[in-house]
Amino acid sequence: MQKIAIVLGTRPEIIKMSPVIRECAKQNLNYFILHTGQHYSYNLDKIFFEQLKLPEAKYNLDVGSGTHGAQTGTILREIEKVLIQEKPDVVLVEGDTNTVLAGALAATKLHIKVGHVEAGLRSYDRKMPEEINRVLADHCSDYLFAPTEKSRQILLGEGIPAERIVVTGNTIVDAVYQNLSISEGRTSPLHELELVPGDYFLVTAHRQENVDVKARFEGIIKGLERVAGAFSLPIIYPIHPRSRKMMDRFGLKSAGIKFIDPVDYLSFLQLESKAKLVLTDSGGVQEETCVLKVPCVTLRDNTERPETLEVGSNVLAGTKAENILEATTEMLDRNVNWANPFGDGRAGERIVEILT
């Protein structure tokens, strides 16, 4: 039986790895979870594991924040120590974070096989650190778990051997179905916020290239105000402390947006599933809204989820106020009966089957 190391460091990675972890646990496989603490310490993420009913991480590196180089280097050094001690047969990473790059490099240099969940995504924007991470991780992986046929074609086009690539579907579909059913047994955030299902907009904006650039962040805020004015519906923005800090630094204010503290993932899933439309710069949210049949407006100039554009669940708006209003109006006129391009919700099973 192969020994599997599941390496993750951010909440989106925990969400997308949750179906794989559940399948490993269900089959009683020889595996362990290593949490790097790239975004939050494991102590802060413990509640996240508990809410999703996931087993605890065996290792907690608690690396914290820092520059990209310092953070990646620290994770690389610390993961290497664990891998030397544990001697897994395969290291599984998911997505495009510094944790993914460091985990893939550490394993490769120790001649341990690497499995990359969500391989083959490309924005073709090299200014995004995530783009560098995902390209490098793909090119040192032995198992490339492509979510869609489009991702597989991208990998083949980059010269990766066909026998390493498997189209599994995206674990986000499994995660949405599994975690939404867990969330329904909890208190509804809509009740607490006095929201009516289908009668509010939900916003997430946190990406460095948006919130660290005054003109872009200001464009997003003005665009949201125009949307609020045009449709007379509440706009709910669970704002990350860092985004709030940048708003203060740039002197940005808004009376038309309801800013709330960040909510836990299960509450967010409920808010997302019942929103009229979601405006976001998050890749995962573009996928989740597609699965949930909720229209999405992406506050970016490009996306590594082109499938959402093709099926009509999503549109790119950029960060100019007038474009945000125009894109929102366009999406609200669309039929929500698009096909889900991300698979049947059994990606986690397929990944584990290939590894065992």
* Per-residue pLDDT of the chain in tens (356 residues, 90 and over written 9): 799 999 999 988 999 999 999 999 999 999 999 999 887 677 778 888 999 999 999 999 988 878 889 899 999 999 999 999 999 999 999 999 999 999 999 999 999 999 999 999 998 988 888 899 999 999 999 999 999 999 999 999 999 999 999 999 999 999 999 999 898 877 789 999 999 999 999 999 988 889 999 999 999 999 999 999 999 999 999 998 889 999 999 999 888 899 999 888 899 999 999 999 999 999 899 999 999 999 999 999 999 899 999 999 999 999 999 999 999 999 999 999 999 999 999 999 999 999 99
Of 167, 200, 226, the last residue of a domain is: 167
Q: Would you state the pLDDT for residue 255? A: 84
Residue 31 and residue 132 in one domain: yes
Question: Same domain for 209 and 140?
Answer: no
Task: Mark whether 152 and 193 lie in a shared domain.
Answer: no
Residue 176 lies in a domain: no
Measured CA to CA in angstroms, residue 36 lies from 8, 79, 81, 203, 255 at distances of 6, 8, 13, 28, 38
Same domain, 125 and 262: no
Bridge partner residues of 7 (DSSP): 34
- Residue 30: per-residue pLDDT: 98
How many domains are there within the chain? Answer: 2
- In which order are the strands placed within the sheet that holds 201-204? 258-260, 235-238, 201-204, 277-280, 296-298, 314-316
Pair (135, 228) in one structural domain = no
HSE (side-chain half, CA atoms, 13 Å) at 352:
21
Residues 133 and 194 in one domain: no
Does 203 reside within a domain? yes
- List residues with catalytic annotation: 206
Whether residue 207 is contained in a domain is answered as yes
Domain co-membership, 137 together with 212: no
Do 218 and 309 reside in the same domain of the chain? yes
Residue at 179 is within a domain: no
Q: Is residue 346 domain-resident?
A: no
- Residue 339 inside a domain? The answer is no
State residue 11's pLDDT score.
Answer: 87
Regarding whether 134 and 18 lie in a shared domain, the answer is yes
Model pLDDT, residue 353: 97
The residue out of 167, 195, 230 marking a domain boundary is 167
Q: Please indicate, yes or no, if residue 180 is contained in any of the structural domains.
A: no
Identify whether 355 is part of a domain.
Answer: no
203 and 309 co-located in one domain:
yes
The verdict on 157 and 298 lying in the same domain is no
Query: What CATH number is attached to the domain comprising 295?
Result: 3.40.50.2000
Q: Does 194 lie in the same domain as 94?
A: no
What is the span of the domain harbouring residue 59? 4-167
